[in-house]
Amino acid sequence: MTNPILSNWTTPFEIAPFADISDDDFSPALDKAMKAHNAQIDAIAANPEMPTFANTVEALEAAGEQLDKVLSVFFTVAGADSNPKREELQREFSPKLSAHFSGISSNKALFKRVADLWTRRDDLNLSEEQARVLMLTHRGFVRAGAALEGDADARMQEIKSRLASSGTSFTQNLLADERDWFMDLTEEDMQGLPDFVVDAARAAGQEKDAKGPVVTLSRSLIVPFLQFSPRRDLREKAYRAWAARGANGGETDNRDIAAEILVLRKERANLLGYDTFANYKLETEMARTPDRVRDLLMQVWEPAKSRANVDAEILTQMMQDDGFNGPLETWDWRYYAEKRRKAEHDLDEAALKPYLQLDRMIEASFACANRLFGLEFKRLDVALYHPDCRAWDVTRDGKHIAVFIGDYFARGSKRSGAWCSAMRAQAKFPKVQAPVVINVCNFAKGDPALLSYDDARTLFHEFGHALHQMLSDVTYESISGTSVARDFVELPSQLYEHWLEVPEVLAEFATHAETGEPMPQEMLQKVLNAANFDQGFQTVEYVASALVDLAFHDGDAPTDPMAKQGEVLAELGMPRAIGMRHATPHFAHVFAGDGYSSGYYSYMWSEVMDADAFAAFEEAGGAFDPERAKALEDNILSTGGSREAEDLYLAFRGRLPGVDALLKGRGLIAA
């Protein structure tokens, strides 16, 4: 019987037939797909004909279709709906896949063909896009170690395999800590909590099969608990558990894994001729060098720290007025900041939240995409991997553009955070294929589901990534959608967040869950006025994480990452009542894989551009200016990685921005 993963998918728009796939299908499908891919690679490498772009680079682009299907399905469910079997498979697949792709990148005969094309590139009469793909292909082989020989080559393969396994272990340890910890709450413990937090705690208790309501380590529950619980003892207990993820000792402790990863990355960079891993990693980004990254972060750090220190004095006085002596602690900040926000802006999140219904915010994100880019969304009735998921057919002028899948609710089987991925990327070669794009979030369930303002911003953020995938219009999959420099990939997502703050968008879609009435104008204005509230805290917790990440990779690998983290924070003068957004043992961006390693700064780098890019709309005809929208699509959203990121931004804006737009946007300097 044909394995359903490898069969021809006859579902609408060839969405993966999740209902037909069992966990037992993954391992045999992977083995068969890797075997088929290896045969394709061997045929390209052994081709007796002179290398051409078609028989080498395009042949590589076309290879591995079966493997793409297996991995897209498996990693979707492994991240968003894990179980013990899938975790076991992840541990099994990680070294297999590392060996498989290392075998390709170290294939000397294959690299010889690519290198031959690279030396003759000026005589090949390639299109601009083809020249870009050849450059990236050649660069990818070199950076993967294809030019290494002998012991260095063998050691590189060992390092890559070990890094893959370690990243998987780090992720699974973190998921285990997040899944297994919860704090029981009595009815008395919930006094003072708004209804939406109480409802979320009860729902979490049911999911955990607890005797009653609980607080879990899901951000969508623990953050509002820290904001609203008047019980300082419970806030401390919850915060300490949240901060200790990955550092609890025993089998799920990530500290030694992080140390090993940093040592291996440094060795990998040295084998390729780089002094540090940061030099290696940043070479292909917009920033180019560690010094440029550090310069940006420090320009933001000092004004953010100054603002945070002023805020800390105010919050400390509020706490002491409540009868608590001593310094403000990390589990106090959110509680007193929320009280201050309510006092200064008369903005009560408990009163605001009924106006931010999940379904209405989804509609808002779609409506903005319709006005900007002409996209339309129609619900699809199709089986997906979890009942919480929903799918839409995305069209423009009646033509199918993409499938969009949303998986919005927190659950124990889903890793924390929010992300966007393409189960199938846009391409025109070797055949035309429309993308299948998924947004995964971790919002609290409810009837109806209500979002915090930060949740709503996250929804728009991830949908910005989705638009980057859905509007992609290039020939080759390797440069489609979000296949761009890491410090450019956050530009479309962070830019799209701005449309949530457009008054007419909130006026139309922020309607009360019970009455259906639009958000009162007075509340709407308060929301917009409070948009920069507590930016000292938010900026400090982020920039501290980015600077620690950079310090880990720009120099010798620390044998004790926790000690190094402490040194960096001490040198920065980190405010004592603010924790890093991601401390080392749960810094999945950096240690679950190479994606954001030495690159967590990229959110800030992109924010420099997104503040400036939205200003381009405001300077023109407003947030929905059609000419600016077309320029954004033509020069950024549709172009993928077909040109250098800096060139794409220059084509859109005509110049590169400075950091002032970011500082003004965050309210850290006067506008």
Domain CATH code at residue 358: 1.10.1370.40
In terms of domains, do 403 and 493 share one?
yes
Distance between the two ends of the chain, CA-based, in angstroms?
66
In terms of domains, do 521 and 372 share one?
yes
End of a domain among 203, 228, 245? 245
Closest-CA residue to 266 (of 286, 280, 285): 280
CB 189 within 8 A of CB 225: no
Whichever domain contains 70, its CATH number is 1.20.1050.40
In terms of domains, do 508 and 392 share one?
yes
Q: Is residue 153 part of a domain?
A: no
Quick check: helix, strand or coil at residue 624? coil
Whichever domain contains 559, its CATH number is 1.10.1370.10
DSSP string over 169-238: HHHHHHHHHHHH-EEE--TGGGTT--HHHHHHHHHHHHHTT-SS-EEES-HHHHHHHHHH---HHHHHHH
Q: Is residue 154 part of a domain?
A: no
> What pLDDT score was predicted for residue 671?
60
In terms of domains, do 475 and 461 share one?
yes
Q: Is residue 158 part of a domain?
A: no
CB 67 within 8 A of CB 33: yes
Q: Is residue 382 part of a domain?
A: yes
Between CA 317 and CA 289 the distance in angstroms is 42
Q: Is residue 296 part of a domain?
A: yes
Quick check: helix, strand or coil at residue 12? helix
In terms of domains, do 65 and 131 share one?
yes
> What pLDDT score was predicted for residue 632?
98
Between CA 105 and CA 100 the distance in angstroms is 9
CB 167 within 8 A of CB 592: yes
In terms of domains, do 202 and 290 share one?
no
Between CA 196 and CA 556 the distance in angstroms is 47
Q: Is residue 230 part of a domain?
A: yes
Cis amide linkage into residue 430, ω under 30° from 0? yes
Low-confidence ranges of the chain (pLDDT < 50): none
Instruction: Please give the angle made by the CA atoms of 408, 411 and 417, to the nearest 5 degrees.
Output: 60
Closest-CA residue to 590 (of 99, 188, 259): 259
CB 244 within 8 A of CB 523: no
In terms of domains, do 488 and 611 share one?
yes
For residue 55, give its domain range. 12-147
Between CA 153 and CA 19 the distance in angstroms is 43
In terms of domains, do 620 and 585 share one?
no
Q: Is residue 366 part of a domain?
A: yes
In terms of domains, do 315 and 405 share one?
no
Q: Please give the positions annotated as active site.
A: 462
End of a domain among 196, 226, 245? 245
Q: Is residue 569 part of a domain?
A: yes
In terms of domains, do 389 and 496 share one?
yes
In terms of domains, do 312 and 403 share one?
no
End of a domain among 570, 600, 630? 600
Place of tokens 């951000």: 219
Quick check: helix, strand or coil at residue 469? helix
Beta bridge partners of 392: 379, 404
In terms of domains, do 70 and 18 share one?
yes
> What pLDDT score was predicted for residue 272?
98
Q: How many domains does the chain have?
A: 4
Residue 245: C-alpha distances to residues 193, 242, 355 (Å): 25, 6, 33
> What pLDDT score was predicted for residue 347?
86
